Amino acid sequence: MPLGVPKVPFRSPGEEDATWVDLNRLHRERLLFLGQEVEGEISNQIVGLMVYLSLEDNTRDLYLFINSPGGLVMPGIAIYDTMQFVIPEVHTICIGLAASMGSFILVGGEITKRLAFPHAMLYQFIRVMIHQPASSFYRSQTGEFVLEVEELLRLRETLTKVYVQRTGNPLWVVSEDMERDVFMSATEAQAHGIVDLVGI
């Protein structure tokens, strides 16, 4: 095994003692992790694992654990679209922070199977944040800038429609929430329809 591959204790059902296994073993158990900013490489890895595990056995659910400060829109949409595409239901579990694209992926889990734990660390609440997409191409020429703005508006409309559909909130509520950063505890996220359950 290459140096740096993380190992975690894992106990199979029926066994008394846990053994140290690499994360690939957890993937075989259908447990996936988004524990960083959403970008192309991690998005491709998660998408590939979801498709592979779906082809391997489409009768077993997938579990995506999220602790992410957000990240790039298109890689996040790729994860979301794959979650909707694969046959197994995808449970989303917020275990820390689900901000921006992290909250978009969280809300994309199978409805009734989206969960947030009440504490990321002792005395700290899980935080879920939503906001509108942003651009990093603000220094381009005017014509390109107009095209960029049009694309951002299309992306914002897409994201807004997904939040409306997945949360059950009216368009005006989601649109208003996306105008600014909105931080929520796990309980507030449940009331807002982003998650269905708050863990114990």
Location of structure tokens 């020429």: 141
What DSSP string runs through 35-90?
Answer: -S-B-HHHHHHHHHHHHHHHHH-TTS-EEEEEEE--B-HHHHHHHHHHHHHSSS-E
Residue 59 and residue 86 in contact, taking contact as beta carbons nearer than 8 Å = no
The tokens describing 77, both together, are 């949409």
Residue 4 DSSP symbol: T
131 is catalytic: yes
Report strand pairing: 124-125 vs 31-34. unpaired
DSSP string, 88-115: S-EEEEEEEEEETHHHHHHHTSPTT-EE
| 27 catalytically annotated | no
Q: Of the listed 27, 119, 131, 175, which one is catalytic? A: 131
DSSP state for residue 68 in the 8-state scheme: E
Q: Which of 16, 100, 30 has its CA nearest to residue 65? A: 30
Is residue 116 within 8 A of residue 94, CB to CB? The reply is yes
- Pick the catalytic residue from 43, 54, 100, 103: 100
Report, as residue numbers or ranges, the catalytic residues. 100, 131
